[in-house]
């Protein structure tokens, strides 16, 4: 196919960058109009500015004449303990809690978001955090919410606070473990394994990010549900969030039927943007869903995040094992540690309770032995594992007690117990 034969529906090198960096700008006139509409007597003292810190900010509380000074302080302390699940920052210092109106045990909380409320992927958890803190005081018994959208200057302050809180540009702390999930070929369930590993880690109370590096064959957005969208503010991206996992994917910036046609340098640039422009907010783990095989992405990962740990997904059959070995050896050649093997579709348990080895047996164990690493687990073939990925409800959420879920949980615990790989001296940093 020549360049001229590409359809308008394809995503070429330049079009993705335009999508990634685009953001709806309000005009100066609109902003001024919004500001003029505020009643002077009820105007909100904005919590976010270039010098604000979470320890100094105080929530704007109204109508507290029926509360004692002690009760008022209890409410203020409770609000300062409201943590945004998306960023890990205090909601007041972020400017998200605009005001709290408390009267006769009822609290009306005004929330101001960096995007339209209907596309913000974190409202339910945000409300849970606020309700939990307010009701824990014993002063509030009912909480209601109202929503509005930040002005452009408020969005800038929001991003500035995140950049100030998380000093590193790419917001991956030194102790963040990069879990690169790879495979020798497609069709072995690598993406579903990546998604469920990320959810399993989050269920152990770790802060988890998921980077879909399978740019040409992205599937993570569909697996995590259709209701999550990233928030783009200038050159910064607040990742989408689902099941307590912050994630980003090329699929969030392209239509499902839109092919991405990129050369190697553009692919490298996109991965660099995903790492440096996305507000990862210092996760404990960043799971990377690698594309199958060996190619440009593996080279880019080796360059951009040389402390990544590789985990190879294979099926039990001999042909899959030999192909997966090439992926593992490529990682080793790039001086990236291969930490373990995950065997997927290991067997099928029928209604008669018999075990059927549809794809043979022993491939995962043989690959682990060849590479002198551990076979971390064997995930059975289950309909719910497939259907959950299709419906946006991964099996750890839909059927947490299933055999496949138990196997995935065991693998997650094994990864945690392995601890981080030995860091390479002189590891590159994203600047």
User: What string of H, E and C letters represents the secondary structure of the chain?
Assistant: CCHHHCCCCCECHHHHHHHHHCCCCCCHHHHHHHHHCCCHHHCCCCCCCCCCCCCCCCCCEECCCCCCHHHHHHHHHHHHCCECCCCCCECCCCCCEEEEEEECCEEEEEEEECCCHHHCCCHHHHHHHHHHHHHCCCCCCEEEEEEEECCHHHHHHHHHHHHHHCCCCCCCCCCCEEEEEEECCCCCCHHHHHHHHHHHHHHCCCCEEEEECCCCCCCHHHHCCCCCCCEEECCEEECEEECCEEEEEHHHCCCCCCCECCCHHHHHHHHHHHHHCECCCCCCEEEEECCCCCCHHHHHHHHHCCCCEEEEEECCCHHHHHHHHHHHHHHHHCCCCEEEEEEECCCEECCCCCEECCCCCCHHHHHHHHHCCEEEEEECCCHHHHHHHHHCCCHHHHCCCCHHHHHHHHHHHHHHHHCCCCCCCCCCCCC
Confidence tier at 27 by pLDDT (50, 70, 90): very low
Q: Which of 279, 275, 332, 283 is nearest to 305 (CA)?
A: 275
**Tens digit of each residue's pLDDT (9 = 90 or more) over 257-286:** 666 766 667 777 878 888 888 888 889 999
C-alpha 313, offset from chain centre: 21
Nearest to 216 by CA among 159, 170, 258: 258
Q: Select 42-165's CATH number: 3.40.1180.10, 3.40.50.620, 3.30.300.130, 3.40.720.10.
A: 3.30.300.130
| Nearest by Cα to 311 from 222, 226, 375 | 375
pTM (whole model) above 0.85:
no
Between strands 236-238 and 231-233, the pairing is antiparallel
Strands 240-242 and 245-249: antiparallel
Does the pLDDT value for residue 44 go beyond 80?
no
What was the pLDDT predicted at 72?
Answer: 80
Q: How far apart are CA 267 and CA 280, in angstroms?
A: 20
Most confident of 140-144, 168-172, 261-265: 140-144
Residue 207 is predicted with a pLDDT of 93
Contact 302, 274 (CB under 8 A): no
172 and 285 in contact (C-beta within 8 Å)? no
At residue 36 the predicted structure's pLDDT band, cuts being 50, 70 and 90, is very low
Instruction: Tell me the average pLDDT of the chain.
Output: 79
How many Cβ atoms from other residues are within 10 Å of residue 227's Cβ?
A: 11
Q: How is residue 137 written in tokens? A: 């005081």
Q: Is the dihedral of CA 291, 296, 297, 298 positive or negative?
A: positive
Query: Among candidates 152, 163, 150, 154, which has minimal Cα distance to 48?
Result: 154
What's the CATH number for 177-418? 3.40.50.300
Q: Are 157 and 123 a contacting pair, CB within 8 Å?
A: no
C-alpha distances (whole Å) from 307 to each of 150, 189, 219, 425, 426 are 37, 24, 25, 10, 10
Q: What whole-number distance in Å separates Cα of residue 158 and Cα of residue 233?
A: 9
Q: Parallel, antiparallel, or unpaired: how do β-strands 245-249 and 285-289 relate?
A: unpaired
Identify the residue whose tokens are 């072995």.
188
* Per-residue pLDDT at 6 exceeds 50: no
| Domain definitions of the chain by residue range | 42-165, 177-418
65, 103 contact by CB (below 8 A): no
Identify whether the C-beta of residue 57 lies closer than 8 Å to the C-beta of residue 80.
Answer: yes
pLDDT in tens, 288-322: 998 887 667 777 887 788 889 999 999 998 777 77
Condensed to tens digits (0 to 9), the pLDDT of residues 90-132 reads: 888 888 888 888 888 889 999 999 888 877 777 888 899 999 9
Residue 49 has a pLDDT of 32
């Amino acid at each position: 196919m020549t360049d001229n034969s590409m359809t308008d529906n394809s995503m070429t090198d330049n079009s993705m960058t335009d999508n990634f960096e685009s953001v709806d700008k309000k005009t100066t006139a609109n902003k001024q109009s919004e500001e003029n509409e505020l009643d002077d007597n009820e105007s909100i003292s904005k919590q976010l500015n270039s010098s604000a810190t979470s320890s100094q900010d105080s929530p704007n509380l109204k109508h507290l004449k029926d509360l004692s000074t002690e009760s008022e302080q209890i409410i203020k302390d409770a609000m300062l303990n409201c943590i945004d699940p998306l960023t890990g920052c205090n909601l007041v210092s972020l400017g998200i809690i605009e005001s709290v109106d408390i009267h006769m045990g009822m609290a009306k909380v005004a929330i101001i978001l960096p995007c339209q409320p209907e596309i913000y992927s974190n409202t339910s958890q945000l409300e849970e955090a606020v309700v939990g803190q307010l009701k824990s005081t014993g002063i509030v018994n009912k909480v209601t919410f109202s929503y509005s959208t930040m002005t452009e200057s408020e969005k800038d302050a929001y991003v500035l606070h995140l950049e100030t809180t998380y000093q590193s540009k790419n917001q991956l702390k030194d102790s963040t473990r990069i879990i690169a999930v790879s495979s020798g070929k497609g069709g072995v369930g690598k993406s579903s394994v990546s998604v469920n590993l990320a959810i399993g880690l989050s269920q152990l109370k770790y802060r988890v990010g998921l980077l879909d590096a399978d740019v040409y064959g992205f599937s993570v957005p569909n697996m995590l549900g259709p209701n999550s969208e990233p928030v783009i503010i200038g050159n910064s991206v607040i990742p989408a969030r689902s099941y307590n996992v912050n994630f980003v994917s090329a699929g969030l910036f392209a239509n499902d039927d839109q092919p991405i046609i990129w050369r190697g340098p553009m692919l490298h640039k996109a991965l660099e943007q995903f790492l440096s422009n996305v507000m990862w907010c210092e996760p404990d783990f960043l799971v990377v869903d690698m594309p199958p095989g060996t190619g440009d992405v593996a080279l880019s990962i080796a360059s951009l995040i040389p402390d990544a740990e590789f985990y190879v997904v294979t099926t039990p059959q001999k042909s899959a094992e030999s192909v997966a070995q090439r992926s593992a050896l490529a990682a080793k050649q790039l001086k990236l540690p291969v930490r373990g093997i995950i065997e997927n579709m290991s067997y099928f348990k029928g209604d008669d309770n018999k075990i059927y080895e549809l794809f043979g047996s022993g491939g995962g164990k043989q690959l682990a032995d060849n590479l002198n690493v551990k076979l971390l687990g064997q995930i059975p073939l289950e309909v719910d594992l497939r259907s959950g990925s299709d419906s946006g409800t991964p099996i750890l959420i839909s059927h947490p007690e299933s055999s496949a879920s138990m196997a995935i949980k065991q693998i997650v615990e094994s990864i945690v117990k392995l601890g981080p790989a030995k860091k390479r001296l002189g590891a590159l940093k994203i600047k």
